[in-house]
């Protein structure tokens, strides 16, 4: 998945790093022109490291900014870690489909084919992904500066003459002239455009964000995580600015900063975000080295100005998404239900989880969210899941404090809970989390009191909503 820190937005906000499915594609034909030896060696090293399941060796070929992304919980690396954990006898095949070198930079398109056996069942397994990377030659070696997983079918269908259109989210994005453009996987919608000199790229992202947030809170939360973890890795920042802006003719929030990287060129990142309900539309501009931003600023500003966000095409939710019946949410596919507090709005969403429903207080930011993921290992407990969540959250959020944690029940179901307080985008919040396991399914309930001074008033209301959750008969287990 994409390598820039803001592209971890979904993980930072939900504190649940759910790995996305890998897309099976057709392997492209081999290159006609020779690939520089150093680049061939880098990818062969990565292939061998994949077969050896050596994550440290893989991280060793990344730039410092990519390593920061790994610390934030890169979706691409989480996909890879899932493969390492769930498969055995791993074989990795790699083909370099395209390689363009411009000075000390390179653009590489590659196809990766993984095969092996599923550890739990012994059944044969295989998957293939298509990747686009930007490389930089430094200190005699090539290193990966940016990485994204491309959706070839979506690229062919949605990118026409440099314009990406996704009717399901209402996003229309036009790349600067002569910038190659790709549709990406791993988000509700995403597109990437890269400058011809390979120094600058733009990325448009559409993603669901469970809960009630402003664009400012979204970006400030991401910035908090970047600064906190970046400092631990020896990265510093300068020229940091933030404020109100405009994107697609709508009020937005924009941040920008320069990463000062020890022994490497400085790196520039600018983020601009708009919230539409619980969906964030965001444009990022990244430049490596940082001065390249000024060279392309006119083009990137024009591309942002031409971005359009229209009403998405109405689409009926599939049966597995469940449905709202007044205050009650019912999911017959997965066999569960929950009831919203009196007067709260209930919204069924198609997010990154198997099911996702949000309940929001009227004219406020407090909310209750129910979600479910399938566990990669049935031995994982609710306590282990919450403790893993805590590690991510403590690293991501400012002023993070644990209020209480321990075993609890939801009705008659054993569960594990955690109550924490932290700052998200400058707003103090109290978050009450309850996790419970049913077979190979992990249900999670988030209840946020926002701002935190609403906690005493809302604790009973939030608790009643979460205690209304039930596992019903007939659902898929």
Domain ranges of the chain: 5-309, 319-471
Region of 73 please: left (phi>0), alpha (psi -120 to 50) or beta.
left
Token pair in block for residue 460: 């009973």
> DSSP secondary-structure letter at 314?
P
Residue-wise pLDDT for 423-452, tens only, equals: 877 789 999 999 999 888 889 999 999 999
On the question of pLDDT at 385 being above 50, the answer is yes
Q: Bigger pLDDT: 349 or 24?
A: 349
Residue-wise pLDDT for 126-140, tens only, equals: 988 899 999 999 889
Token pair in block for residue 87: 């498969």
Distance CA 130, CA 24 (A): 9
When mean pLDDT is compared across 13-27, 44-58, 78-92, 217-231, the lowest value belongs to 13-27
Token pair in block for residue 284: 């990022």
Q: 432 pairs with which residues across the strands?
A: 419, 447
On the question of pLDDT at 176 being above 70, the answer is yes
Distance CA 155, CA 170 (A): 16
Q: Looking at domain 5-309, does it have CATH number 3.40.50.300? A: no
Residue-wise pLDDT for 220-237, tens only, equals: 888 888 888 888 888 999
115: closest CA among 90, 80, 95?
90
The pLDDT-based confidence of 28 (bands split at 50, 70, 90) is very low
pLDDT value, residue 209: 75
On the question of pLDDT at 461 being above 50, the answer is yes
Q: Bigger pLDDT: 462 or 426?
A: 462
The pLDDT-based confidence of 210 (bands split at 50, 70, 90) is low
What are residue 62's phi and psi, to 5 degrees? -100, 155
Q: How far is CA 24 from CA 75, 302, 369, in A?
A: 17, 35, 32
Distance CA 412, CA 300 (A): 56
pLDDT value, residue 2: 31
What are residue 429's phi and psi, to 5 degrees? -135, 155
pLDDT value, residue 17: 28
- Predicted structure pTM score: 0.74
Distance CA 190, CA 207 (A): 9
On the question of pLDDT at 251 being above 80, the answer is yes
On the question of pLDDT at 20 being above 60, the answer is no
Q: By the 8 A CB rule, do 430 and 455 touch?
A: yes
Output the average pLDDT for the chain. 85
Distance CA 151, CA 10 (A): 19
On the question of pLDDT at 5 being above 80, the answer is no
On the question of pLDDT at 31 being above 70, the answer is no
Rounded to an integer, the average pLDDT of 109-122 is 90
Identical fold between 5-309 and 319-471: yes
| Fold entry, domain 319-471 | Protein Transport Mog1p; Chain A (3.40.1000)
Residue 459: which residues within 8 A CB-CB, separation 6 or more?
Answer: 432, 449
Q: Bigger pLDDT: 316 or 281?
A: 281
């Amino acid at each position: 998945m994409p390598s820039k820190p803001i592209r971890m937005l979904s993980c930072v906000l939900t504190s649940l790093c759910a790995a996305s499915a890998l897309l099976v594609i057709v392997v492209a034909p081999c290159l006609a022109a020779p690939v520089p030896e150093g680049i061939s060696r880098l990818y062969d090293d990565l292939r061998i490291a994949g077969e050896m399941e050596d994550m440290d060796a893989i991280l060793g070929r990344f730039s410092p900014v990519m390593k920061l992304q790994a610390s934030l919980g890169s979706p691409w690396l989480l996909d890879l870690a899932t493969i390492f954990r769930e498969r055995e006898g791993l074989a990795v095949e790699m083909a370099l489909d395209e390689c363009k070198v411009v000075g000390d930079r390179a653009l590489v398109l590659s196809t990766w084919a993984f095969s092996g056996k599923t550890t739990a069942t012994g059944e044969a397994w295989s998957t293939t992904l298509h990747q686009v990377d930007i490389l930089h030659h430094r200190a005699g070696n090539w290193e990966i500066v940016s990485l994204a997983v491309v959706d070839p079918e979506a690229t062919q269908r949605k990118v026409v003459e440099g314009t990406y259109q996704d009717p399901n989210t209402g996003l229309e994005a036009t790349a600067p002239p002569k910038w190659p453009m790709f549709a990406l996987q791993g988000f509700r919608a995403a597109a990437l455009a890269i400058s011809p000199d390979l120094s600058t790229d733009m990325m448009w992202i559409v993603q669901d964000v469970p809960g009630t947030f402003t664009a400012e809170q979204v970006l400030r939360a991401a910035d908090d995580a970047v600064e906190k973890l970046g400092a631990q890795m020896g990265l510093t920042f300068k020229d940091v600015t933030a404020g109100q802006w405009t994107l697609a003719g709508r009020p937005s929030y924009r941040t920008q900063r320069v990463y000062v990287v020890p022994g490497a060129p400085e790196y520039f990142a600018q983020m601009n975000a708009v919230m539409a309900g619980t969906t964030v539309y965001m444009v990022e501009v990244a430049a490596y080295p940082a001065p390249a931003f000024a060279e392309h600023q006119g083009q990137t500003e024009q591309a942002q100005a031409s971005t359009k966000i229209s009403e998405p095409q109405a689409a009926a939710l599939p049966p597995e998404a469940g449905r709202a019946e007044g205050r009650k949410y019912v999911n017959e596919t997965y066999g569960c239900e929950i009831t919203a507090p009196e007067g709260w709005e209930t919204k069924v969403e198609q997010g990154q989880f198997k099911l996702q429903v949000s309940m929001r207080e009227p004219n406020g930011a407090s909310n209750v969210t129910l979600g479910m993921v399938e566990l990669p290992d049935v031995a994982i407990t609710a306590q282990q899941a919450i403790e893993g969540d805590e590690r991510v959250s403590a690293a991501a959020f400012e002023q993070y404090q644990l209020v209480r944690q321990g075993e609890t029940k939801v009705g008659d179901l054993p569960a594990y809970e955690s109550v924490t307080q932290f700052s998200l985008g400058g707003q103090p919040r109290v978050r009450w989390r309850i996790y419970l396991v049913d077979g190979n399914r992990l249900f999670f309930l988030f209840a946020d009191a926002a701002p935190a001074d609403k906690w005493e008033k809302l604790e009973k209301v939030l608790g009643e909503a979460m205690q209304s959750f039930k596992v019903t008969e007939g659902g898929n287990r």
